[in-house]
Amino acid sequence: MSVNEENIEMIFSAVVNNAGRNFVSVRFERNGTDFVEAKVPSCEIVESKGFSTDELSMIRYYLKENTNDIISKSKAITNIKHWF
């Protein structure tokens, strides 16, 4: 089964530091009901709904192949903590 990229939106956070570890939260959404929440660079799937096992494998692969790009783009996002 293939993931239809045209119907999937990806959003991500700024770089987050938790207990000395940096990561970016990534969320994929489809049709307003299906979602996958993950973290990079670990490519860990935190939670999902509506995606098949094969689709989750493809998303993990996508995250692994694009980790550096996602992190680079997330660094351009200003974390709200910096405002205070």
pLDDT digits (tens, 9 = 90+) for 7-27: 899 999 999 989 999 999 999
**Which residue, chain included where needed, has tokens 């990229």?**
5
How much is the pTM? 0.83
60, burial (CB in 10 Å: exposed 0-12, middle 13-18, buried 19+): middle
Question: Identity (one letter) of the amino acid at 83?
Answer: W
49, part of any domain? yes
31, part of any domain? yes
Q: How confident is the model at residue 2 (pLDDT cuts 50, 70, 90)?
A: very low
46, part of any domain? yes
56, part of any domain? yes
Structural domain including 57 reads 5-75
82, part of any domain? no
The number of domains in the chain is 1
**Percent of the residues in the chain that have a pLDDT greater than 90, as a whole number:** 74
Q: Compute the half-sphere exposure of residue 63: CA atoms within 13 Å on the CB side of its CA.
A: 25
81, part of any domain? no
